Structure 1
């Protein structure tokens, strides 16, 4: 039979084991939960639309106008060039480079790009394009001008990266919705290029508006957007050279929505596609890729301001906090049970 001193030693050993185990479990959980947390969001979806200026979209796109009114609108956001392709290149590489005109495809740009930055920082990505054959780095079935991931040689020459280029069924985009409704392992960065009808290139603002009215609620109702720190960015590549209120030369519709975006917020600050890229970089602490994105203002004013040091960031470690609370409670309980008894025995023996 264990004596009182033996029981005390047993409880001390038990407490030490508990502390060691909890530290091990906590470190494991932190490592598991330490996929980079962003300043403004942990998951972002970007949808690229085509060839319309901001006033026209607000006048003819009832759904888009309502979305901007409910969430945010960047009234000073401008495209950076004409035609389409240089704008797309700017958005994921911070430069126009060799993509000065449409029709350059594929793998002819050797510049660093956003995919390089994401992967080197442990972030995951998928780029969807309606009507694309999944994994086809030659852009089969789509207008290659509107899918910038196939511009870059370090993507087209990589089978694993090509597998992240996913075909989406027009107009349901079910493949994208399935990815957002998965049980876990959601991509941090998601891109969607609609086809030439749904992006308004070959149709009208009204047609594209109906498409967005169908797909955006599915995105907003997905598991990622219901349970994670997520944001959606809808933007047009270029407009009709209508000046922005900020003085930008080619004002286009640009709106951040989703749980991490502000509501009822409008800004007249001058932004461009380089600002979009710089916002992604700033969110995850990625290096800037070129001088244009480095010098572009970050769109931080559109977000609710939560980050990894705020309550949302803390809550991702709730299992660790629970373990710590349990161990502290056990330590208090053992000290309450052991210390008074030990003191009484010493007093009786004196």
Structure 2
């Protein structure tokens, strides 16, 4: 790695560590995980509607719970994680795919982080698919539950509200960068999808109605996920929220798998190994309290789901033969053969990268969005999902060389806010007011500050000027 990149990584790691050390005491945000609370701001929009259950080969429900910025050894030292490991399967060679946080969340649902190297505001165009496309093609229900998101489908950069820990002042508990699906216009600009991005009051309603979907992504707020706090604070939240739910069939039945993981390691100068557990009633009894040292990444969450339900792939990292190992016991039940990389194998690539990968979300190594590899072999055996809006001929091989937009004084075309708004429960596209890489969210549910030019105008003008093409895809 280039020395300057190592220096930047070290500085970012120091900043992250310093910020995470803020002393705060855990306070339950609700009386129980299954009760609504004014601390979540947004009221439930009613119980989610799901279709009939679609049986999988190894499990029928998959729940990802992501927490933040912690080195493997730090998590392993936590008594709460130690106790949970006795009831689960420890994946001790699991890695984030890059730094910082946001690109990991994007990758876990979209199969790629598209060169992103920051936590800035990004949106990804309508013709780029996600796991939602794969699930809906097989009628598999899904939801994303985001703690302290002010209302369903919220697309703002962050949300600031009363500080419920101290009762004084305000605090930013919710951030868009930890909500991977809403970053994709194929979710944010489709009402039926955007409104399945829900808050924790909705979770309480869905739980009581026994309506938790089959695929779920759960993001705690910035204190409960450890971003602004410590591993001990996370442990207190897990004792409050997750551990009671493990004993309830409405959340965790005998066909449920729960993947408890981190987005990335805290230290950027070491490879991106993160402590990850598989929990749930669907975990075979003989694997509880054991360790699986197979090499896994965040793409494993995609490939495991694809193998289980026979889904198509996205033709990106989820079909990369080095990075897409399926959780071993699921691979065996679905007749998928992993690549054999495990433990400290020298074949494990460096995944602590920041800013070195060209892509449409990398402003200094900018290339347009390209089509996925349509000949990729995914773990579900169903081919590659291709959006009908996508130009399949515009591939990585045919893309122009990367361009440094910053050096040209130009913004990234995907750093402007397209203005999708669901404050009233239906989509409204607000008129843009300005361009910004970090639009500030208002302090009330309806506020939308610093929105940018509309997607089509930006792409046509900027990409046409810089790269000599009229459209990205």
Q: Find out whether 1:50 has 2:68 as its counterpart.
A: yes
d(CA) in 1 for partners of 2:119 and 2:110? Answer: 16
* TM-score normalised by L of structure 1: 0.69
The answer (yes or no) to whether the contact 1:40–1:304 under 8 Å persists in 2 is: no
Shift of 1:54: 1.2
Q: 1:303 to 1:54 in 2, by over 3 A?
A: farther
Within 5 Å, give how 1:1-350 maps onto structure 2: 35-59=53-77, 61-97=78-114, 99-108=116-125, 110-139=127-156, 141=159, 142-168=174-200, 175-183=202-210, 185-225=211-251, 227-239=253-265, 240-241=267-268, 249-261=271-283, 262-294=287-319, 295=321, 296-301=324-329
Shift of 1:303: 9.0
Shift of 1:179: 2.0
Shift of 1:291: 3.4
Shift of 1:274: 0.9
The answer (yes or no) to whether the contact 2:151–2:198 under 8 Å persists in 1 is: yes
Structure 2 residue matching 1:76: 3-state secondary structure: strand
User: Which residue is 1:327 aligned to?
Assistant: none
Shift of 1:177: 4.3
Shift of 1:221: 2.4
The answer (yes or no) to whether the contact 2:56–2:309 under 8 Å persists in 1 is: yes
d(CA) in 2 for partners of 1:34 and 1:109? Answer: 27
User: Which residue is 1:339 aligned to?
Assistant: none
The answer (yes or no) to whether the contact 2:253–2:282 under 8 Å persists in 1 is: no
What is the CA RMSD across the aligned residues, in angstroms?
2.5
Q: 1:219 to 1:303 in 2, by over 3 A?
A: farther
Deviations 1:309-345 (A, max 9, x none): xxxxxxxxxxxxxxxxxxxxxxxxxxxxxxxxxxxxx
Shift of 1:181: 4.0
Shift of 1:48: 0.5
Shift of 1:242: 7.5
Higher helix share: 1
The answer (yes or no) to whether the contact 2:125–2:186 under 8 Å persists in 1 is: no
d(CA) in 1 for partners of 2:331 and 2:289? Answer: 11
Shift of 1:116: 0.9
Structure 2 residue matching 1:253: 3-state secondary structure: strand
Instruction: Provide the aligned length of Structure 1 versus Structure 2.
Output: 264
Q: 1:226 to 1:46 in 2, by over 3 A?
A: closer
Deviations 1:62-121 (A, max 9, x none): 111211132110000011100011111111111111533211334557421001111111
Structure 2 residue matching 1:86: 3-state secondary structure: helix
d(CA) in 2 for partners of 1:110 and 1:98? Answer: 17
d(CA) in 1 for partners of 2:332 and 2:252? Answer: 16
User: Which residue is 1:316 aligned to?
Assistant: none
Shift of 1:136: 2.9
Structure 1 residue matching 2:300: 3-state secondary structure: helix
d(CA) in 1 for partners of 2:274 and 2:318? Answer: 18
Q: 1:161 to 1:65 in 2, by over 3 A?
A: same
Query: Which structure has the bigger radius of gyration?
Result: 1
Q: 1:277 to 1:227 in 2, by over 3 A?
A: closer
d(CA) in 2 for partners of 1:227 and 1:84? Answer: 31
The answer (yes or no) to whether the contact 1:144–1:150 under 8 Å persists in 2 is: yes
Higher RCO by CA contacts (8 Å cutoff, separation 6 or greater): 1
d(CA) in 2 for partners of 1:178 and 1:219? Answer: 14
